Amino acid sequence: MIRKKFKRFGILFFLTAIFFSCSESNNITDPGRGVIEDFDPELLDVSGLFKTVAFDSTAFCDGFSIPHSSDNNFIHHPNRRNLIIGRSEEQLFKGYVEFAVLPTDTTEGPRYSPDNSLQAVYLHIYADTRHKDTSELFMIPVFSCEPKDLFEEVVLTEAMTEIGKAEITSGSKDSIPLPEDLASALFTALSESAKTDTSVFAFTIADTTDSFKYLQNPFLVMHIADKDGEVFKDSLYGLSQLTVYEKDFDTLSAQPVSRRISNRVAVFEFDIDRFFDTTYTSGTSFDEVLSAEIMMRRPQVKNLPENENISFRAYLGGEYNNAGELSVNFGNRRVFSDSVMSFRFEKDLQEITRSRQSSVFLYLETINEFSQTLWTRPTHFDAVLTTID
């Protein structure tokens, strides 16, 4: 079986070389030209074994984009290592962090003893190093909220109470004291000797001003006195979640836009009927893909961090489902673009030709987490196919 595969590959490689050599005969050197001219067309005619396909932009329809879900205009990113707060390009970012106190039968017992007493509790907030301007001061509102406020839109409701504002500059930190009743409830939950339920203490960090605030995950610091009155500090770490809310949801869906942070993917429909009509000639179907490439102009990119290269992934294949949700596996194609960029699709196109898919789309995803990419219609589609299987 292995010998047969190598034999087939060798024959295909040889014929392909001849095909491309003949198609580019003007560039052949004199010695090479003699070899090509010595072939007797009646003995070796490869013209019927290969098919070239070259389409311009008319092979693609105007683009649009697929949101993460058609049911709502926000998406959640749980278990984050950092948070983003604020607004950018009609995206609103909300942070959420919760601290759970578990039943004592699932732990080693209460965290604090009866000899301990509460002095204060602070929520610590650190700026992420991506804050470049050390002179800019951000006032970041922090709210206590009902637990599991995970699947709500970015709206400040009556169930949320502002407990303070963190003052943050580049690389700085700030701490907000918890209200006395909230701090006392937390200390009591951590001190119960026979706790049977789980208590959750939750906070929302939300700001609607037109700028990004990059934060590390907030954490709590307990100030506790022992029986001798000595005060020690104890840190509590919770689970964080970032919610991204698209205010321009409907407008974006009509444009070929990629946004990684909101899981939005740009889409162009490919004229697959035209492709199959071209590759089926006089009863012969060219089904084996030798090469396939799509060329595009460099897209417009916004919110790309300084000194970071833009990169993308692409997939050529079947339909998304009726809910507007994408269920395709992107290849590991990362293309760093100049004015013109290209994607190769041999594997994708081979699957399309073998399964004879009735609808085919080009999907484009931005790799960079915070950037927004606006695409234009692809300029060229080029492929070479053969009948040799």
**CA pair distance 321, 218, nearest whole angstrom:** 38
* CB 223, CB 188: distance < 8 Å: no
pTM value? Answer: 0.70
* CB 317, CB 353: distance < 8 Å: no
Tens-place pLDDT, residues 225-237? 999 999 999 999 9
Place of tokens 């990004």: 212
Mind listing the pLDDT tens digit of every residue in the chain (389 residues)? 444 444 444 545 545 554 555 544 444 444 444 444 554 555 445 556 888 999 999 999 999 998 765 555 667 676 667 787 877 767 788 888 889 898 887 777 889 999 999 999 999 988 876 655 545 667 888 888 877 644 444 455 556 788 888 887 766 788 999 999 999 999 999 998 888 888 999 998 887 776 777 888 899 999 999 999 999 999 999 888 888 888 777 788 899 998 888 788 899 999 999 999 988 876 778 889 999 999 988 888 887 766 666 778 888 888 664 444 444 555 545 455 567 788 888 998 998 888 888 889 999 888 777 778 899 999 999 999 888 76
* CB 267, CB 321: distance < 8 Å: no
Place of tokens 């840190």: 235
**CA pair distance 345, 341, nearest whole angstrom:** 14
- DSSP calls for 250-275: HHHHTS-EEETTTTBEEEEEE-HHHH
Name the architecture of domain 48-68+248-386: Sandwich (2.60)
Tens-place pLDDT, residues 349-362? 998 888 888 889 99
**Nearest-5° Cα angle at 239, 311 to 303:** 25
* CB 238, CB 100: distance < 8 Å: yes
Give the per-residue pLDDT at 57: 95
CATH 2.60.120 region(s) of the chain? 48-68+248-386
